[in-house]
Amino acid sequence: MTTTALPAAAPRATARPLSRALGRMLSLDDFETAARRRLPRPIFGYIAGAAEDNQSLKGNRDAFAQYAFTPRVLVDVSRRTQQTELFGRTYASPFGIAPMGISALSAYRGDIVLARAAREQNVPAILSGTSLIPLEAVIEEAPGTWFQAYLPGDPAKIDALIERARRAGFETLVLTVDIPVSANRENNVRTGFSTPLKPSLRLALDGLARPRWLAGTFLRTLLAHGMPHFENSFATRGAPIVSASVLRDFTARDHLSWEHVARIRRQWPGTLIIKGILHPRDAALARQHGADGIIVSNHGARQLDGAISPLRALPGVVAQAGAMTVMMDSGVRRGTDVLKALALGARCVFVGRPFNYAAAVGGQAGVAHAIGLLRAEVDRNMAMLGINRLDEMDASLICREGELPA
């Protein structure tokens, strides 16, 4: 589907020297260690947590280790570029920022921080439907951001939410479809996080033990913007994060079907992406219902524990995707992971938790540094693999561990 072309490159901020704290961040995993020290236990637990026994969480990472590279040598790689085109726009790298709910609790104005950093570094970013900052404010600060919608249960509310996103100026709509019911995230409960967020002595003590977060994120938010609300679940403002009605607002999705996708396709004039595809037949159905792209995802292992890792699902999904753009998230932590996903058919991958941690540790500068680290890894690995362009990264350059290259 044709959409309004956006500039190939967004204006970039003047490079600034890294702070001492950010200078110690040498990989995406380093941000997780630092964020654990900075964030209250319930907030960190919400970000890090997955469903039930964490089988899918472990499986997402293990899948990348099952593939090895078969690099080419003595190739002139001095002209390499990692630019990639998605839906008529050229991005600087083949990765972006995945949608993450309540990011404004881990970093002050977190959704804007993430979107701004992505725009300045010219990578895609997706605003979560469970964000705490109005989508209108985010798109004003970072034009070109994508919007992820969790569909309300009522068709009239769906229509109104889609129209709100269109009026705000979003051109790319991401429908997340793998949450018919709320997951069993007992790991959140064990760390003291609940939905709604319940004030308690334990929560207060956790906040007091993290004074930088308490003053710099939570109290600053309360003073400047009041109690956070779920701003983007409906066409109107949602419930505050401490309200019991939050649970009601996030239910009644178990009857949603492909008919709702067809309804949205008729209304939405821009790019339509379906997120949460793991089965090849669903990829075919997405294509039949007019989707422009899909994101192969198991929700970062936060929904169905034991679900197949997106990397393993990629080849089968790509085979049924036709002309749709196939993307992927869940488990990406290194430039090598990005390139393995591209070799198996993805055009772009999205990274969630590490960028959230980076925002918590260093704000927008932290996210920009994390993007730069991942970008440098992709560049370095392209050189060592013997490729100049991402379209050269194909299945001939990887093999399963234990197998001989062709």
Cβ neighbors of 73 (< 8 A, separation 6 or more) are 386
> Beta-strand (E) ranges in 43-154?
67-69, 84-86, 89-91, 95-97, 126-127, 146-149
Q: Which of 188-192's residues contact partners 24+ apart within 8 Å by CB, and which partners?
A: 188/42, 188/45, 188/46, 188/49, 190/45, 191/41, 191/42, 191/44, 191/45, 191/46, 191/49, 192/41, 192/42, 192/45
Catalytic residue, chosen from 225, 279, 289, 299, is 299
Segments in 122-154 forming alpha helices (H): 135-141
Three-class DSSP category at 166: helix
| 275 labeled part of a ligand binding site | yes
| 155 labeled part of a ligand binding site | no
| 150 labeled part of a ligand binding site | yes
Q: Which helix (H) or strand (E) holds 325?
A: strand 325-329
| 270 labeled part of a ligand binding site | no
| 56 labeled part of a ligand binding site | no
A 10 A CB-CB count for 15 gives 8
Has 229 been annotated as catalytic? Answer: no
| 332 labeled part of a ligand binding site | yes
| 81 labeled part of a ligand binding site | no
Instruction: Report CA torsion sign: 379, 385, 389, 393.
Output: negative
Three-class DSSP category at 232: coil
Cβ neighbors of 328 (< 8 A, separation 6 or more) are 295, 296, 297, 310, 311, 314, 341, 346, 348, 349, 350
State how beta strands 126-127 and 146-149 pair.
parallel
- Backbone dihedral angles phi then psi of residue 327, each to the nearest 5 degrees: -125, 175
| 352 labeled part of a ligand binding site | yes
> Beta-strand (E) ranges in 209-302?
271-277, 293-296
| 103 labeled part of a ligand binding site | no
What is the rounded distance in angstroms from the CA atom of residue 398 to the CA atom of residue 120? 32
Instruction: Report CA torsion sign: 43, 310, 25, 362.
Output: negative
| 329 labeled part of a ligand binding site | yes
| 46 labeled part of a ligand binding site | yes
| 299 labeled part of a ligand binding site | yes
| 331 labeled part of a ligand binding site | yes
| Residue 331 identity (one-letter amino acid) | G
What is the rounded distance in angstroms from the CA atom of residue 231 to the CA atom of residue 245? 14
First to last CA, the chain: 37
Q: Which residues belong to the annotated binding site?
A: 46, 99-101, 128, 148, 150, 176, 185, 275, 297, 299, 302, 329-333, 352-353
Instruction: Write out the catalytic residue numbers.
Output: 299
Q: Which residues belong to the annotated binding site for glyoxylate?
A: 46, 150, 185, 299, 302
